[in-house]
Structure 1
Amino acid sequence: MDSLLLTRRRLLAGAGALLNIGGIQIAWAQSPAKAPPARLVVVMLRGAVDGLSLLAPHGEAAYYEARPTIAIGRPGEADGLLKLDSLWGLHPALAPMLRYWQRGQLGFVHASGSPDATRSHFDAQDYMESGTPGRKTTPDGWLNRLAGVLVGDHATPAAQRLQALNLGPVMPRIFSGDATVASLASGQAAVTRGVLDRPRFAGAFAELYSGDDRISQAVREASATRAEIMDRLASDDPKADQGALSLNGLPRDTARLGQLMARDARVRLAFVPVGGWDTHANQGNGRGQLANRLALLAQSLDALAQGLGDRLDETSILVLSEFGRTLKQNGTGGTDHGHGNVAWLMGGGVRGGRVHGRWPGLDAAALYEGRDLAITTDFRDVVADVLEQRFRLADAALARVLPGMDRRQPVGLFAERSAA
């Protein structure tokens, strides 16, 4: 008889269980817990990073032939590549990223980029941030359009507050548009309280803009957003930032961004612009100018992941750059504007520990215009994988975010669909 005495807790425990009572089978299933909302951080490496140094094909002789002094040494050599497999090696300055690769939380898409042929930084960044390569008349950015899709067409300003966050004082092209976007100041200004944070002045300012006109409403929303950001960033230890890694403040900034996203589930979209990748001269190899920048980048991405903590599981960190650089080094020990590049994807659900996309090779016949890595994966297909698999956008919503895109075969960046 004891075997037939079931408590309600035992009956409801588990999913897909099968109960047999007197030869009668009763099956039941629990509704799975709703997954936390997906999040996306886009990191833009402005200036066209050299993807052939960042993730180098050490298995191809053409790589070393084209770069006699700036190629990264083979795995096992001094300042050589960190071997990922028989073809690929990671720049040694990116060593902090290796553990994410080994955990399956980091993957790459090589030979990716914009199908537009421009070698202009300004135009290429504009096209990548608008999500419409070759079209200069697009009024808004794709990350702003995504914010609009996520919040809905009739959301109030308060409902949009802190959903989208830009790191830095200048609103970028990718966030231009109708959806509300907050800015998180970089450096010490991110947590420094000013005159308007004092109750006396804040009250006077609020009274000045207490009307119902659009400017007053915008000012009130901006003030409320700042107050909430300051509250989320307030540290229990006033010395918490002392001694932190700081090269132009970026690791500290990304750590704060990660902490803010970990503390406030409303922040679903963020943008981090990182300049300084235009290496026309003295690029270096395993050491030098580019290596120093990549070390900063690795520290910053690691700080972002550490700041997110467990929230990394629901976050996709997408790293893009407007185009790559020439295969051959130039006469000043650098590389010039190229075409194909490498995109990164880090975080939850990613099929990490592998290089995605079709590698075209570096043979002369395979090069774009006889000089550059060809593009075999449109960067918008990488973005679309994130939007479809992590945010579960249907075709109509995807078309709003990436208008005019001819969606090809998914890149396969995620193991399975995950809840939005």
Structure 2
Amino acid sequence: MINRRFFLTAAATTAAIGMVPRLAFAKAATDRRFVFIIQRGAADGLGTLAPVGDPAFTAARGILAQDFANAPRLDGMFALHPALGRIAGLYQAKQALFLHATASPYRDRSHFDGQNVLETGSAGAYQVKDGWLNRLLAALPAEEAKAIAVAVTVPLALRGQRDVASYAPSALPDADDNLLQRVAMLYEGDRQLHALWSEAMATRALTADMAPNGAAMAARGGAGGGAGLARAAAATGALTAKLLSAPGGARIAMIETGGWDTHAQQRARLAGQLGGLDAMVGAIRDGLGPLWDQTIVLVATEFGRTVALNGTGGTDHGTAAAAMLFGGRVQGGRVMADWPGLAPNALYEGRDLRPTMPLDGFIGGAVASHFGLDPQRLMPVIFPGTATRAMGGLA
């Protein structure tokens, strides 16, 4: 291990992962940054962004509707969960945009399959071996095609032909300078490993003063209660911002968050999770400083949750959810939705929020606009096998 506070890996992920054609449609390099925050476990979009203007909302959600009695309204239909104070401020500043009743092409309710579709960008589970975010790197100029995962291992969305580093804290003992020097000498003759090791050492030096446990706690979700989770999430956000701000460093980052599978006692658990997300996004915004104006942050989950509560005060696996965009380049202050309604006869399979907006079109439109790419050429690359068109006017 490199030191007692951090575990650092530089992962070469090129072997046996499938071939991506060399793309030639990237424009000149810019100073833009992109962050993808994945909510593992199926986050409740109805509990995040509530359709309080829907006549069926209160009866359909039961006790969960009480959280929105005095919540800030974004418009005549939707209100934001009170735990999302920083995000509400971004919305007022027109730096937050929400998409509701959205879903990937996946229509079953398995976490593993749903996350596979979300991360590979494919039309079905296990049809593609690499991730949409790694394929995006091939469309960017070399100066921008640098990514890092704030995670113990590289998530599937970032796996592929392009080398990607991962960085996460650890409580394991320090390695002394002699060991580090010997490893550097061992890798010196290998062009690929030497480059990866050099990047790892640069990241280690950059983050030497960061808090030791923040990213790990935020990834687990729920550690240390609501306040502890918020502190951990803020530390992860600050770490991410620092990695993205370093000269010559990563331009793209992915953060894994867990704990969104709220089968029981959802009201308190979801409030804590959302408070953590709010703290994370706020720390990214604060840490990036002027770079925030060149940044977008995407938040998405594999699917939503049931409209009605179950017998333990929670919700079960559903279908449509909510996705979010934050940043200085976002054309925000809006909720995008083709609202299907929560009346019993409007629900998907009689239980779920019906999906009406394509998540892949939202993601593709956001990154194409942000990086100045042709959406018609980009969509088949990052979302193979789908016929969805990229949404316009997002960033």
For Structure 1 versus Structure 2, the TM-score category normalised by the shorter chain is: 0.7 to 0.9
1:187 CA drift (Å): 6.3
Q: Which residue of 2 aligns with 1:136?
A: 126
1:269 CA drift (Å): 1.1
DSSP 3-state at the match of 1:92? coil
Q: Which residue of 2 aligns with 1:182?
A: 165
Matching residue's letter, 1:225? E
Output the CA distance in 2 between the equivalents of 1:356 and 1:313.
Answer: 22
Q: 2:56 aligns with which of 34, 59, 62?
A: 62
Q: 1:380 aligns with which of 356, 360, 382?
A: 360
Q: Which residue of 2 aligns with 1:231?
A: 205
Matching residue's letter, 2:163? T
1:250 CA drift (Å): 2.4
8 A Cα contact 2:51 2:78, kept in partner = yes
What do residues 317-375 of structure 1 show as CA deviations (whole Å, max 9, x unaligned)? 00000000001111111100000000000002212111013112212232111211111
Say if 1:352 and 1:201 are closer, same or farther in 2 by CA, change over 3 A: same
* Paired residues for 1:359-374 under 5 Å: 359-374=339-354
Q: Which residue of 1 aligns with 2:184?
A: 206
Q: Does 1:146 align with 2:136?
A: yes
1:409 CA drift (Å): 6.1
Q: Which residue of 2 aligns with 1:48?
A: 42
Q: Does 1:401 align with 2:375?
A: no
Output the CA distance in 1 between the equivalents of 2:244 and 2:331.
Answer: 23
DSSP 3-state at the match of 2:296? strand
TM-score, normalization by structure 2:
0.83
8 A Cα contact 2:116 2:125, kept in partner = no
8 A Cα contact 1:326 1:339, kept in partner = yes
Q: Which residue of 2 aligns with 1:275?
A: 258
Matching residue's letter, 2:394? L
DSSP 3-state at the match of 1:307? helix
Q: Which residue of 2 aligns with 1:332?
A: 312
* Paired residues for 1:182-331 under 5 Å: 182-186=165-169, 194-195=174-175, 198=177, 200-211=178-189, 216-235=190-209, 246-247=228-229, 249-264=232-247, 266-284=249-267, 288-331=268-311
Q: 1:346 aligns with which of 318, 322, 326?
A: 326
Matching residue's letter, 2:239? R
* Paired residues for 1:2-21 under 5 Å: none
Output the CA distance in 2 between the equivalents of 1:278 and 1:296.
Answer: 15
Matching residue's letter, 1:345? L
What do residues 256-312 of structure 1 show as CA deviations (whole Å, max 9, x unaligned)? 11122123354221100100011111112xxx1211111111111111111111111
Which is greater in Rg?
1
Q: Which residue of 2 aligns with 1:107?
A: 97
Output the CA distance in 2 between the equivalents of 1:89 and 1:376.
Answer: 19
* Paired residues for 1:118-137 under 5 Å: 118-137=108-127
DSSP 3-state at the match of 2:325? strand
Q: Which residue of 2 aligns with 1:3?
A: none
1:411 CA drift (Å): 4.8
Matching residue's letter, 1:179? R
Output the CA distance in 1 between the equivalents of 2:118 and 2:75.
Answer: 30
8 A Cα contact 2:101 2:320, kept in partner = yes
RMSD between aligned residues: 2.5
Output the CA distance in 2 between the equivalents of 1:188 and 1:100.
Answer: 35
Aligned residues: 353
Say if 1:230 and 1:294 are closer, same or farther in 2 by CA, change over 3 A: same
Say if 1:137 and 1:408 are closer, same or farther in 2 by CA, change over 3 A: closer
Output the CA distance in 1 between the equivalents of 2:60 and 2:75.
Answer: 21
Q: Which residue of 2 aligns with 1:27?
A: none
TM-score, normalization by structure 1:
0.78
Say if 1:265 and 1:188 are closer, same or farther in 2 by CA, change over 3 A: farther
Say if 1:238 and 1:385 are closer, same or farther in 2 by CA, change over 3 A: closer
DSSP 3-state at the match of 1:290? helix
Output the CA distance in 2 between the equivalents of 1:378 and 1:188.
Answer: 41
1:148 CA drift (Å): 2.2
Q: Does 1:412 align with 2:393?
A: yes
DSSP 3-state at the match of 1:138? coil
DSSP 3-state at the match of 1:150? coil
8 A Cα contact 2:36 2:254, kept in partner = yes
DSSP 3-state at the match of 1:71? helix
Matching residue's letter, 1:354? R
Which deviates further from its counterpart, 378-387 or 319-328? 378-387
Output the CA distance in 1 between the equivalents of 2:283 and 2:235.
Answer: 7
Say if 1:396 and 1:67 are closer, same or farther in 2 by CA, change over 3 A: closer
Say if 1:225 and 1:265 are closer, same or farther in 2 by CA, change over 3 A: closer
Output the CA distance in 2 between the equivalents of 1:71 and 1:311.
Answer: 37
